[in-house]
Amino acid sequence: MFYLKLASQNIRKSLQNFSPFLLATIVMFAMTFILSNIAFSKSLNQLRGAASVKMMMLAGLVIIIFFSVIIVSYSYRFLLKQRTKEFGLYNILGLNKSQIAMIAFWELVITFIVTLLVGLLSGLILSQFLYLSFVNLIGGNYFVLKVSTSAIWLTMVAFALIFSLLMIFALVTVRRNSAISLLKDSGRSEREPRGRLIISLISLAMIGTAYYLAFSVKGPLEALMKFAFAVVLVIIGTYLLYIGVTIFVLKRQKANKNYYYQPNHFITTSSMLYRMKTNAVGLANITILVTMTFVTLATSVALYVGSQKIIQEQFPQNTSISLFGTDIEKNKQTLMTVAHENRLDLSQFKPFTTFTAMNVFSVDQQHHAKFPSPVVTVNDFATITFVTREDMLKLGTQLPELKDNQVLIFNQLGQRDVQTIDWYGEKLTVKKASVELKNFPYSAAIFDTFVMIVKDDQTLDKLSTLYAKSGDRSGGGQGVTYEGEISYNYITRVMLDLPEDKQAALAKKANGTLTLSTEKETRQEMLAFTGGFLFIGFILGLTFILGAALIIYYKQISEGAEDKRSYRILQEIGLTKKEVKQSIDSQVLIVFFMPIVVSVIHFAVAFLMISKLIKLFGITDINMIAIVSVLTIAAISIIYYLIYRKTSKIYYRIVER
């Protein structure tokens, strides 16, 4: 009971020191509980796309717990560093190390209970609010969030384990130091860091390699394969950048006597050398967290915004009926039967026949493309949709006349300058036409996508048969698809009266597959995915920027305490307060804005990969992605500046005392 009482008194009397740590634990507990409560709630099953949303929630939960360990541990280790003198004084007054550890144990128990109560209460309130925002985001209609007991237990167990880790930190700190070392810990002098040429070269090599990968990536699949490796290189390289390159540059400045032996440069360079030695890892953490905030928010917002345009492009009309089979005429007859039996307005019915091939589409220097391609490269894969000129005329696109061996090629995504084609032995000539396709659905694909227009159904059937017989079918399948695009704004499902068994019978009769999709349903499914992605991105972005803010706050306090004595000595040897303040301002600006500048550079290069990765979801509007990225950087930079203004006042207050 004595130790419990002493621990509670310590927290009350040192609340200023404990409050940042308490804030970190409560916020991370609440964030973890919010995600787990929504992920495990039965309410989630009432929403469209619940399975994919839950998967994203669980992935986000793993990331949140991982960063909870990092942020809470960082906060507690900073708290321990502030309290080393206090622990040393306990030892001198007669308490042994086990008794000091017992005090630390009860302090953590009290903190855990406060975290549990406040975090759970705030988490319950915020999870209700954020769930409503999430449901509104995805266009759902079930607004009641049922509290999950599994989420409560999961969060409690996770943070019990985190606090157990903190107890280990406390035990190690107390047991590895004597009373004298504990008393002197915070006042230990630091040697000037050595120049780190090898570390600097490794850092530049790793970041340079990651940047090269970003610049050299040509397609989304290549970006997917290289992105994780590039991220690891950038993270390690960033740590080495602050540990090695910054100190190396400062040492070179110090070696330059004409530069170094000037009052402002002398003070700034000397102080920065020691500051970078002790705070390099903290600055690297801030840089990585801010960069991750940029990437997470920009990607999730771009995906959400861009998905709306995809739906519009995929549905020129609001309903699509497709019949996939091997006989064009039979497909047409079956689909027309469906239209008649469901009393569809045929004036609104816009049918067309296609077949799709996914293949390597490489063009040589003579502007000739051969299928199958003699050279197979990932970046040359393309999706090619074949359609007849007659059907495109029905859809509203005016096209020139075509001969038997002539085709027109339209680029939906990607560019190919091709003049002649060898399609599995069939020689084709590409005719030029400067028109835009009307009312033809956009093919959302990972690869470049093209529309190849042929003369008539006989040519289409011939090319399809050649493709099917070749055995070179990596994506298109055999046969053709007969599709009908219908505009019915007053109903959501035009085949509502057609039973599933009848659909199956018609499909079997046509020796194919009958499918129906509507713009409304597809939009709802897409919203469920992209809305969930945006929600997770917002939570993770908030966590990353919070982690960066906490590290910045701790860094300002620790640097203020370390610099206080140095600046007092400088004033005693003749520097004016104005000169001291100028020196402080220059250092704070350099140290504080270095992470945001490096983060912007990292993200600018990462954008080359991100813009290609988003193509995996069918989003190809680079201008939209760029605008979203710029707005994200601007918003986060403003938040970062506000954090700087707030925390720099704390630093100045400490130094000026």
Write phi, then psi, for 462 (nearest 5 degrees): -65, -50
Q: Which residue has the higher pLDDT, 239 or 496?
A: 239
| pLDDT given at position 5 | 77
Amino acid present at 198 = I
How does pLDDT run across 261-307, given as a tens digit for each residue?
666 666 666 666 666 666 777 788 888 889 989 999 999 898 888 88
Max Cα-Cα span within the chain: 102
| pLDDT given at position 132 | 84
Q: Which of 15-19, 353-357, 583-587, 621-625 has the lowest mean pLDDT?
A: 583-587
* CA–CA separation, 527 and 543 (whole Å): 24
> Helix 577-613 vs helix 197-216: angle between axes, to the nearest 10 degrees?
40
* CA–CA separation, 543 and 31 (whole Å): 8
Strands 426-431 and 480-486, sheet pairing:
unpaired
- pLDDT bin (cut points 50, 70, 90) of residue 478 is very low
Domain coordinates in residue numbering, the chain? 1-188, 191-314+520-535+557-632, 319-487
C-alpha distances in angstroms, 187 versus 180, 182, 267, 312? 12, 10, 21, 65
Rg of the chain on CA atoms, in Å: 32
* CA–CA separation, 102 and 4 (whole Å): 9
| DSSP helix/strand/coil, 435 | coil
How does pLDDT run across 52-73, given as a tens digit for each residue?
778 888 888 888 898 888 888 8
* CA–CA separation, 447 and 461 (whole Å): 24
Query: Using an 8 Å Cβ cutoff, are 463 and 426 in contact?
Result: yes
- pLDDT bin (cut points 50, 70, 90) of residue 579 is low
How does pLDDT run across 374-393, given as a tens digit for each residue?
877 777 888 888 998 988 88
Report the run of H or E that residue 49 belongs to, with start and end.
none
Nearest to 391 by CA among 322, 460, 325, 450: 460
Assign residue 216 a region: left if phi > 0, alpha if psi is -120 to 50, beta otherwise?
alpha
Mean pLDDT of 202-218: 92
